[in-house]
């Protein structure tokens, strides 16, 4: 009796899935839902990093660190300089020859390392830029600009290769829903990141800034 009841519950849950889970039908035999959700985690890392750059650090640099608004605007805009090269990243990943047959994965890894490297040096660069009397004036801004650009290059590389990989694997009829699910995951990563960063940096200190930014670097790799 318990077994029959369990089977009925499962059957009812499967029937409710497409109605209450709009992207339940994005899965397919080639790309099961578990694999699709695991693949979508690259969008979570992109969302976390994006909201950190354009939201959290934007506010921290202006309010807590006292950086001029035009400097902050320039730093935040630097990641966009890599955006035109997404075409080149996509083309190279199309043509990439790997011993394991992985065309996209190396570019996802390169992009992840770009994110990690940029975020790893970013808090120290910002602190040197705002409070380092013994350092040359140009060191802090140059290091901060490099950190923002590296992080932006990593974001664009990861997202380009990741979306291309998803469309490679997904059947033609489910590709629109797969891409839509990936962008919903991106928005969830941004919303979740905004809440987490806001809570962690409510009591700002240089040490806390280092912990949060470098913790984001580790989260992107994970």
pLDDT of residue 99: 73
The 10 Å Cβ neighbour count of residue 7 is 10
pLDDT single digits (tens) 143-190: 999 999 999 999 999 999 998 888 888 888 888 888 888 888 999 999
**Is residue 94 within 8 Å of residue 167, measured between CB atoms?**
no
Q: Which of 202, 210, 213 is nearest to 51 (CA)?
A: 213
Q: Cβ of 28: how many Cβ atoms within 10 Å?
A: 18
pLDDT confidence of residue 111: 92
Q: How confident is the model at residue 23 (pLDDT cuts 50, 70, 90)?
A: low
At 27 the pLDDT is 62
Flag whether pLDDT at 20 surpasses 60.
no
The pLDDT value given to residue 5: 62
The pLDDT of residue 202 is above 90: no
Q: Which of 46-55, 79-88, 99-108 has the lowest mean pLDDT?
A: 99-108
Q: Give the dihedral sign, CA 94/99/104/109.
A: negative
Q: What is the CA radius of gyration of the chain?
A: 21
CA distance 66 to 126: 11
Angstrom distance (rounded) from CA 20 to CA 50 = 29
Put residue 101 in one of left, alpha, beta given phi > 0 → left and psi -120 to 50 → alpha.
left
Instruction: Compare 169 and 31 and report the one with higher pLDDT.
Output: 169
pLDDT of residue 19: 55
Secondary structure (H, E, C), the chain: CHHHHHHHHHHHHHHHHHHHCCCHHHCCCCCCHHHHHHHCHHHHHHHHHHHHHHHHHHHHHHHHCCCCHHHHHHHHHHHHHHHHHHHHHHHHHHHCCCCCCCCCHHHHHHHHHHHHHHHHHHHHHHHHHHCCCCCCCCHHHHHHHHHHHHHHHHHHHHHHHHHHHHHHHCCHHHHHHHHHHHHHHHHHHHHHHHHHHHHHCCCCCHHHHHHHHHHHHHHHHC
Q: Say whether pLDDT at 192 is over 80.
A: yes
Q: What is the mean pLDDT of residues 13-40?
A: 67
Instruction: Identify the pLDDT of residue 1.
Output: 56
If one compares 222 and 30, the residue with the highest pLDDT of the two is: 222
pLDDT at 92 over 70: yes
What is the pLDDT confidence band of residue 49, given thresholds at 50, 70 and 90?
A: very high
């Amino acid at each position: 009796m318990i077994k029959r009841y369990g089977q009925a519950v499962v059957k009812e849950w499967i029937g409710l899935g497409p109605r209450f889970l709009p992207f339940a039908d994005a899965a397919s035999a080639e790309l099961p839902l578990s694999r699709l959700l695991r693949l979508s985690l690259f969008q979570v890392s992109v969302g976390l990093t994006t909201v950190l750059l354009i939201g959290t650090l934007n506010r921290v640099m202006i309010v807590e660190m006292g950086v001029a608004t035009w400097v902050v605007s320039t730093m935040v805009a630097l990641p966009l300089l890599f955006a035109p090269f997404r075409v080149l990243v996509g083309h190279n990943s199309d043509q990439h020859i790997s011993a394991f047959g992985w065309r996209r994965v190396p570019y996802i890894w390169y992009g992840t390392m770009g994110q990690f490297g940029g975020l790893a040096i970013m808090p120290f660069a910002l602190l040197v830029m705002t409070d380092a009397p013994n350092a040359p004036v140009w060191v802090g801004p140059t290091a901060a600009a490099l950190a923002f650009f590296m992080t932006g290059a990593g974001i664009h590389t990861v997202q380009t290769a990741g979306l291309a990989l998803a469309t490679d694997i997904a059947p033609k009829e489910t590709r629109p829903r797969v891409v839509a699910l990936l962008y919903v995951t991106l928005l969830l990563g941004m919303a979740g990141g905004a809440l987490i960063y806001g809570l962690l940096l409510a009591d700002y200190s240089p040490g806390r800034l280092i912990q949060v930014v470098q913790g984001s670097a580790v989260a992107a790799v994970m």
